């Protein structure tokens, strides 16, 4: 199976980076190398993205546990010994064998991140993922947070659901320096290199910048600049093929999680920009039992004011 499907190729060709994408794509494989396995075992947070099998809506959900709760158990498989609560919008997806999932492990302490995408198998203690794609990302736009502490008495409050953002949630998003973006694509024909084609999948990526880089244009519309990256365009390629998307914003101090689902598309122009229309918002206070130190913003972050 090739690294890129037709959606990613279309964006690469439009931006003129196909050769660079081919070079970077050689680092993507199914194998979980020893350094990747060691990295995963150190993480207290994993973000997972998928489509809800009952509604088709795409969400990104945070999972936490004592380091070691994510562990490589084979050359192409990871085991996760936790599962989302029944109130999580992806609870059904985590219980459905064969669900395409994207995962990202991000370590603010070292400004490293790793993505692993594949197929889910429910287990007695959580789930496993058989990898289709494993790769690391550069530290660009990733804010450094020196340390975290576990808050053992923090328990998730009842989720608050709405069709659009409240004023308070809009303010939270406008001040964010980080969010996670889940996307999907259906299986399709081979790309024009004659690869074996794609059976469909999911992906979760990180987006970061100085506060203000995400703009709240209305109670149900957000937008953000698409800063230069690794030229693979997996996320924008997925959105070209399938506009469904899920966003996750975390409060790195209080643990509040704001999950949004809707559709997104890319606007190409002097500034490449992604515009997202929210269909549903779920806010869960105290969802994550981690309290991180204050951020040191990445030196790569552009000024959101231009």
For 14-35, the pLDDT digits (tens) are: 999 999 999 999 989 999 999 9
Tokens for 151, please give them: 């808050």
Identify the H or E element spanning 112: strand 112-122
> Does the predicted TM-score (pTM) go above 0.75?
yes
* Alpha helix ranges (H) inside the chain: 6-15, 18-25, 34-41, 91-94, 167-174, 234-241
**Strand, coil or helix: what is 241?**
helix
d(C-alpha 238, C-alpha 185), whole Å: 5
Per-residue pLDDT, 150: 96
Tell me the backbone φ, ψ of residue 21, rounded to 5 degrees: -60, -40
- DSSP notation for 12-40: HHHHT-HHHHHHHHTT-BS---HHHHHHH
Residues whose CB is less than 8 angstroms from the CB of residue 56 and which lie 6 or more positions away in sequence, other chains included: 244
* Alpha helix ranges (H) inside 80-232: 91-94, 167-174
For 84-139, the pLDDT digits (tens) are: 999 999 999 999 999 999 999 999 999 999 999 999 999 999 999 999 999 998 89
Q: Where are the domains of the chain?
A: 6-292
Which CATH architecture best describes the domain 6-292? Roll (2.30)
For 209-235, the pLDDT digits (tens) are: 999 999 999 999 999 999 988 889 999
| Nearest in space to 43 (alpha carbons), one of 238, 288, 246 | 288
Whether 195 shows a pLDDT value over 80: the answer reads no
| Nearest in space to 158 (alpha carbons), one of 257, 81, 66, 250 | 257
* Residue 191: pLDDT band with limits 50, 70, 90: very low
Q: List, in sequence order, every residue forming a beta bridge with 122; answer none if it has no partner.
A: 127
How much is the average pLDDT of 53-76? 97
Under DSSP, the state recorded for 144 is B
């Amino acid at each position: 199976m090739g690294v890129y499907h037709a959606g990613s190729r279309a964006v690469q060709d439009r931006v003129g980076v196909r050769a660079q994408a081919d070079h970077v794509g050689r680092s993507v494989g199914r194998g979980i190398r020893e350094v990747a396995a060691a990295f995963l075992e150190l993480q207290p947070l994993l973000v997972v993205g998928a489509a809800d099998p009952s509604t088709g809506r795409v969400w990104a959900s945070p999972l936490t546990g004592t380091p070691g709760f994510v562990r490589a158990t084979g050359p192409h498989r990871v085991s996760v010994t936790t599962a989302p609560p029944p109130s999580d919008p992806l609870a059904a997806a985590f219980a459905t064998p064969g669900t395409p999932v994207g995962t990202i492990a991000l370590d603010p302490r070292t400004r490293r991140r790793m993505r692993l995408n594949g197929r889910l198998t429910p287990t007695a203690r959580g789930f496993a993922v058989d990898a289709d794609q494993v790769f690391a990302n550069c530290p660009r736009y990733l804010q450094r947070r020196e340390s975290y502490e576990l808050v053992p008495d923090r328990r998730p409050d009842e989720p608050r659901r709405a069709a659009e953002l409240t004023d308070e949630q809009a303010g939270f998003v406008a001040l964010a320096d980080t969010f996670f973006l889940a996307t999907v694509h259906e299986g399709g024909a081979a790309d024009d290199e004659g690869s074996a084609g794609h059976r469909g999948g999911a992906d979760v990526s990180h987006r970061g910048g100085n506060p203000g880089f995400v703009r709240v244009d209305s109670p149900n519309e957000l937008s953000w600049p698409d800063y230069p990256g690794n030229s693979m365009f997996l996320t924008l390629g997925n959105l070209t093929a399938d506009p469904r998307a899920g966003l996750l914003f975390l409060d790195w101090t209080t643990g509040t999680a704001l999950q949004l689902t809707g559709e997104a598309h890319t606007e190409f122009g002097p500034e490449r920009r992604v515009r997202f229309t929210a269909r549903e918002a779920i806010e869960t206070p105290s969802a994550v039992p981690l309290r991180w130190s204050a951020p040191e913003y990445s030196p790569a972050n552009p000024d959101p004011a231009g």
